[in-house]
Amino acid sequence: MSFTAEQIVSSPELYAHLRLVRSDGIGPVSFQRLVQKLGSAIEAVAMLEAAAKKGTAKTKLAPHRALEEELEAATTLKAGYFFVGHEGYPALLSEIADAPAAFMVRGNETCLNKIAIGVVGARNCSAGGAKIVQKICRELGESNFTVVSGLARGIDTAAHAASLDTGTIACLAGGIDVIYPPENKTLYENIMETGLTVSEMAPGTKPLARHFPRRNRIISGLSKGILIVEAALRSGSLITASYAADHNRDVFAVPGSPLDPRAQGGNKLIRDGAVLVQSAEDIINEYETMPLLRSAKSPSVTKAPATRTTIPLPAQKALSTPTSDILSLLSPSPIHIDELVRLSGIQAETLLSEFTMLEISGEVMRHAGGKYSRISIKNE
């Protein structure tokens, strides 16, 4: 079950978690590194507040008033929150490297308990494309699958509409209360009756172009597999398929005529190894003997190559190196992370975690190509 606004207000850790999420400059990956390094969201907020007092912080914490207004809106909307690392967070979604640090939901949360198939495709889909999507999604729902899509025009709309009775999940690019496109208002309201809406944005956020790829990774992250129907070679649907491959999800595609540009992306995926789908049975058969959800994977740790001689700097010990020693590795001249690993003998994962914190506090600058430099600080 999700956390209510009231539970967040009464929990200092959950409140600090949400405050970090809503702060500029803190994305899902930097959030996880901060919390892992400092031990809790409360400690991460304290560090940023201390940096702000010194005038070195590059990240401005979300103001309390903004959080109060958001939580008031969440109460009015009867929306809940899921927080990564806390009870109830979807196991599949937690597997991806940039899992949302927090996301909001409205509707029937039991939809998250079933095997989910993401369905994406052309906004200007053909009548034939819409027809086969409706048939496949209706049958998936009847076989106890949850259909996940993005509430967009075309294929997304057809997928949601066909699976209303059995529960569908709509992932939104804007706030949980912002319906886009506007003509899907009735569909949105119908989804709320039996299905679920999901967003990692604050309520009231208008969907911008950069929000849609973030929305697409959630579709993939929640799903066991992704079905592509009518996608051009350069399309958001293929971006979602790419996410699915990166997330170790299954990729399915409905073939189409070589003469239709909308079929070229799906045909290419099939040629590259995606499962060819002509009916829901082609998807259902893939999971008949499989467990409900994949178990979460342990995060990989990058280590210095064993065959390479390292030259440890004084007073440095792996995984317990003080921040001051990490900072002393850097100068105003950018240096590559691999070179820092070689010179110090410290694992890359440890260095990156420290640098994320130092970058946010305004003491380190990240450059293109994996290079870092130290920022001169007054009165140092």
What are the pLDDT digits (tens) for 115-135?
999 999 999 988 889 999 999
- Domain range spanning residue 11? 5-104
Q: Tell me: pLDDT of 218 over 90.
A: yes
**Is 81 in the same domain as 126?**
no
Say if CB 83 and CB 17 are below 8 A apart.
yes
- At 253 the pLDDT is 96
Provide CB contacts within 8 A for 199, sequence distance 6+.
103, 104, 171, 172, 173, 174, 175, 176, 205, 215
- Report yes or no: 213 and 220 within 8 Å, Cβ to Cβ: no
CA distance 67 to 79: 14
Residue ending a domain, among 225, 253, 287, is 287
292 domain-assigned: no
What is the pLDDT averaged over residues 258-269?
91
Average pLDDT over all residues of the chain? 87
Instruction: Check residue 174 and report its DSSP letter.
Output: S
Q: Which residues contact 6 (CB under 8 A, 6 or more apart)?
A: 75
320 shares a domain with 240: no
203 and 70 fall within a common domain: no
- pLDDT tens per residue, range 320-358: 455 666 776 677 778 888 878 876 778 888 888 888 878
- Same domain assignment for residues 176 and 325: no
pLDDT classification of 380: cutoffs 50, 70, 90: very low
Distance CA 222, CA 20 (A): 23
Rounded CA-CA distance 179/190 in Å is: 12
Are 126 and 158 found together in one domain? yes
Give the CATH number of the domain where residue 305 resides: 1.10.10.10
The tokens for 8 are 């967040």
Q: Would you say residue 294 lies in a domain?
A: no
DSSP for 323-359 reads: HHHHHHT--SS-EEHHHHHHHH---HHHHHHHHHHHH
Q: Is residue 215 over pLDDT 60?
A: yes
Q: Between 26 and 259, where is the model more confident?
A: 26
Q: How many domains does the chain have?
A: 3
pTM of the model: 0.79
Q: Choose the final residue of a domain: 244, 261, 287.
A: 287
Inform me whether the pLDDT recorded for 161 exceeds 90: yes
Do residues 60 and 24 lie in contact, with contact meaning Cβ atoms separated by under 8 Å?
yes
List the one residue out of 162, 152, 133 whose CA is nearest residue 239. 152
Q: pLDDT confidence of 296, banded at 50, 70, 90? A: very low
Rounded CA separation 25/31 (Å) = 10
Residue among 107, 327, 67 at smallest CA distance from 197: 107
In a domain, 293, yes or no: no
Q: How many distinct helices (H) and strands (E) make up the chain?
A: 16, 12
State whether 270 and 125 are in the same domain: yes
Instruction: Verify that 118 and 180 share a domain, yes or no.
Output: yes
What is the SS3 assignment for 379?
Answer: coil
Tell me the pLDDT band of 306, cut-offs 50, 70 and 90.
Answer: very low
Dist CA 46 CA 38 (whole Å): 10
Structure tokens at 79: 């929306």
